[in-house]
Structure formats: C-alpha cells, structure tokens
Amino acid sequence: MDRRHRQKTTTSSAFSWPNLTGIHAFLIADNEDTRALLAETLEHCDALVNVYSSADAAVADLPEFLPTVFICDLSMPGLDGLSVMRRMRELPPERGGQVPAVAITAYYEEFASATALEAGFNASMVKPIKLEELARLVKEISRAAA
C-alpha cells in the first residue's frame, strides 16, 4: 500500500518537457560537459542545436545559419559571451541582431543578470543550470520573438 502511494505521488508530479520543434539554437560553451548536457536536453525537446566550443566559431556560422535563440556562456577564453552578444546586437536583424539570447554563467545571480542584460541578453541562468527551466525559457523567449 505504501509503495503504491509513492508511485502515485511520483506520477502526478512528473515534469512535462516543452516541445521545441522549430527552434534552432546556437549553444556556445567552452566546457564539454556543459555543452553535452544542454545540447542533449534541447534535442530531447526536439530543438535543432548547433554546438560550439567558442564564440568565434558560432559568429563565423551566422552567414550560413540564423538561429532562433542563442545560449551562451559568459566566461570563455578568447571572445567571451558578453563580447559576442555586444557584437551580435550591432548586426542588422536579418544577420541575427535581434535573435533572443540566454546567458549561462557561474557568476552570482545579481551580477550575472545585470551584466548580461546590459550586453543585450534577454535572460540569464546561473549554474548549475536547471534543465527543465532552460527548456521552458528557450520556448518562452523564442515564442516572444516570433
């Protein structure tokens, strides 16, 4: 009897992943584990994901692919997330200048949020990233931009 009660509670509180069909994400992070985990999560929700270990590589692909959303780590060697977003926001809309963007960072929340918004990100998330929140946020900001 106790076993059934636990199963019922678990089933009733199950999370429903959002459907991200039609969303094309550029995921930029220098940490391999972060890239893999976030990409797998977004792909699980049916998003198309281009994965990059550097911001330079993502920017180089912009003429060929225009994503629906950027997800970018703030702290990376070379071109960091803040710099890449400032560059992105200077581009015309047809080249990606208005693509919604989520910053991910290990910096404390108040600093990360203020700094990311100032650079042109639409939202920020502090590591460790809650995967279900990331998926919902990607859907939310992609829908708002459409």
Question: Any idea what the CATH number is for the domain that residue 40 is in?
Answer: 3.40.50.2300
Domain that holds residue 72: 19-145
| Amino acid 122: pLDDT | 95
Would 128 be classed as within a structural domain? yes
Would 59 be classed as within a structural domain? yes
Tell me the pLDDT tens digit for each residue of 3-46.
Answer: 443 333 333 456 799 999 999 999 999 999 999 999 999 999 99
d(CA 7, CA 53): 41
Residue 29: exposure state from Cβ atoms within 10 A (0-12, 13-18, ≥19): buried
Domain count, the chain: 1
Tell me the pLDDT tens digit for each residue of 90-144.
Answer: 989 888 899 999 999 987 777 778 889 999 999 999 989 999 999 999 999 998 8
| Amino acid 14: pLDDT | 65
**Consecutive H or E run containing 106:** none
Would 6 be classed as within a structural domain? no
